[in-house]
Amino acid sequence: MSLAIFDLDNTLIANDSDFLWGQFLVDHGIVDKDYYEAANAKFYEDYKHGTLDIVAFLDFSLKPLAMHDAEQLYRWREQFVETVIKPITLPAAHAQVEKHRAAGDTLMVITATNRFVTEPIVKLYGIGILLATTPEMEDDQYTGKFIGTPCFQQGKVTLLEEWLASSGETMAGSYFYSDSHNDLPLLKLVDHPVAVDPDDKLRLAAQESGWPIISFRD
C-alpha cells in the first residue's frame, strides 16, 4: 500500500476550479463583472507562468466569501459543482483513482485551490483526504483570510510533511499526478511522479527526468 496523491485542477478535472468559481461569481452577478473578471484572468495567467503571488491571489479570491452568509455561499457552491464541475470530471481520472483504491493505496488530493471550493469536488471522486489552502472562519462566517500555509508550490510539500508527521504514513512507494510545473517541488519528492496532460514546462521536466507522461482527457 502506498500514498497516491492527485492534483485537482487540470488533472482530475478538465479545467481550473479556482478560475471557474471566480467566473461563476461573475456570471451570476455576485461580484463586479469588469473588475473581478479581469483580475481573475490576470491571476490565472500568473499561475500558468509560475509568477503567481499566492498571498495577493488569496486576498482577492477569498474576499467574496466574507461578503456573504455562509449558507448562501454553500447554496451557490452546490449549484457551481452541479452545473460547472460535474461536466468536466474525467472518466479516465476516476479510473486511475479506482485503480489505486483497489490496490489499497491511501488516496489524497493536494491542491492550491482553497478548501471551500474543492471539498465537494474531491468528494465526487470518493477521496477522503484533502490538503488545500484553508479559509478562516469566525462564528460560522468566512473572514476573507486564510489559515496556515498556502497550499501552493513548496507549500504543498510543507503541508504534506505536516500530514505525514501526524498520520504516521510514509512516502515509500508514493505517487503524485499533476499537470503543472508549479508542482515540481512535490513531484521531485515522490517515488513515482506522473505528468498528466502537462503544461509545457512540466512536459519538458518530465521528459528530462524520464517521468511518465499520460492523459486523462478523451
**Model pLDDT for residues 95-129, shown as the tens digit of each residue:** 999 999 999 999 999 999 999 999 999 999 999 99
Does residue 218 have a pLDDT over 80?
no
Q: Please, is 110 exposed, middle or buried when counting C-beta atoms within 10 Å of its C-beta (0-12, 13-18, 19+)?
A: buried
pLDDT value of position 18: 95
* pLDDT score at 1: 87
38-64: per-residue pLDDT in tens? 999 999 999 989 899 999 999 999 999
Count, residues in the chain: 218
Tell me the backbone φ, ψ of residue 133, rounded to 5 degrees.
Answer: -60, 135
- Domains of the chain (ranges; CATH) run 3-214 (3.40.50.1000)
Question: pLDDT grade, residue 186 (50/70/90)?
Answer: very high
pTM of the model: 0.95
Q: What angle do CA 75, 81, 83 make, to 5 degrees?
A: 100
DSSP state, residue 189: T
DSSP per-residue codes, 20-31: HHHHHHHHTTSS
pLDDT for the residue 34: 87
Closest CA to 213 of 111, 88, 202: 202
DSSP category for residue 13: B
Catalytic residues, which ones? Answer: 7, 9
pLDDT tens digits for 199-214? 999 999 999 999 999 9
How confident is the model over 127-184, as pLDDT tens digits?
999 999 999 999 999 999 999 999 999 999 999 999 999 999 999 999 999 999 999 9
Work out the burial of residue 201: count CB atoms within 10 Å of its CB; fewer than 13 is exposed, 13-18 middle, 19 or more buried.
Answer: middle
